[in-house]
Amino acid sequence: MFDEFGTRPIIFPKPAIIEPGNLCSLGASFAALIASYGGAPSDVFTCNFGAYTTNEAPGDWTVRPFSSGGSLVIQEDGATIQGKYLTLKGAAIAATWDAISAAADVDVCCVCRFDGSTSSNAAGIAARLQSGPTHLQGIALDTASSGLGSSFNIRSRISGSTTSIGSQNNAFNDAAWHGLRFNLTGTAWKLRWWVYGAPEPGSWNVEVTSSAITAAGLVGALRTSTASAAISDTSFQWFSVGLNGSPAAAPP
């Protein structure tokens, strides 16, 4: 292409290349870029933690302690989806993803595991979270463990008090990576789980109806322990969120 006089070529800058594997902190900035050009941002956000710096906390995830302090760190493992994963440390924390605005109806899919002793520990997904001065209010899907993994639970937490809404007893391998999918649509709450590497099942393990918490809130990863002497870390190598009726992306 030439200028208006037809004498000098117009050289456009080479477009930036976004590697498809590194799907993490692009979520919010990419959606904002699309919106600035008049387009609609994607309703599906996906993070495989490959774009973050090892041994540092991810800059667009925020720690939300609800009974004690905690921290986040990115670690390396060549066997994970993108060679890195997020670890939550501390007795009871949630880590919310800043790319996701407050939402009520969400579909969340993650791949997580315990790293160490699991007595009285839990890992999972948090949604509809409202951050208070000393606690979080919201809904949690967690894999509650006592020795060998024992159950999957949906719980509500209001004003510091936790209530079980639905659960299913299942023995699972604490050291293995597991897929979890949690869907909140109005008062319908559903969850399913599977061993990562196997196909995601088409049916739900738990389906309940509850109006305990209906307001929009934050979305993130969860880590709790009720036994301070047996605290283990909890790790995530995949985290995807679907909004406005869109399903979260399944892990590869």
Amino acid present at 16: A
Per DSSP, the three-state class of 112 is strand
pTM: 0.78
Give the chain's length.
252
Q: What is the spatial order of strands in the sheet that 61-65 belongs to? A: 61-65, 92-97, 218-225, 121-131, 136-146, 148-158, 161-172
Q: Is residue 249 part of a domain?
A: no
Owner of token pair 């999957």: 152
Q: Which CATH number goes with the domain that contains 166? A: 2.60.120.560
Q: Is residue 15 part of a domain?
A: no
Look at 54-58, 68-72, 147-151, 207-211 and tell me which has the smallest mean pLDDT. 147-151
Task: Pick the most confident of 65-74, 165-174, 207-216.
Answer: 207-216
Owner of token pair 């979520």: 27
Q: Is residue 13 part of a domain?
A: no
Contact 38, 32 (CB under 8 A): no
Q: Is residue 14 part of a domain?
A: no
Is 118 a residue whose pLDDT tops 60?
Answer: no
pLDDT tens-digit profile of 217-231?
889 888 766 554 455
Is 55 a residue whose pLDDT tops 80?
Answer: yes
Rg for the chain (alpha carbons), in Å? Answer: 20
* Total number of domains in the chain: 1
Q: Is residue 52 part of a domain?
A: yes
Domain that holds residue 170: 26-243
Closest by CA to 30, choosing from 40, 21, 101, 217, is: 40
First to last CA, the chain: 42
Contact 91, 162 (CB under 8 A): no
Q: Is residue 229 part of a domain?
A: yes
pLDDT tens-digit profile of 176-199?
888 889 899 999 988 888 889 999
Look at 19-28, 123-132, 158-167, 179-188 and tell me which has the smallest mean pLDDT. 19-28
Closest by CA to 196, choosing from 219, 222, 173, 223, is: 173
Is 8 a residue whose pLDDT tops 90?
Answer: no
Q: Which residue has the higher pLDDT, 179 or 141?
A: 179
Q: Is residue 9 part of a domain?
A: no
Task: Quote the CA–CA distance of 224 and 91 in Å, as a whole number.
Answer: 5
Q: Which residue has the higher pLDDT, 128 or 147?
A: 128
Q: Is residue 191 part of a domain?
A: yes
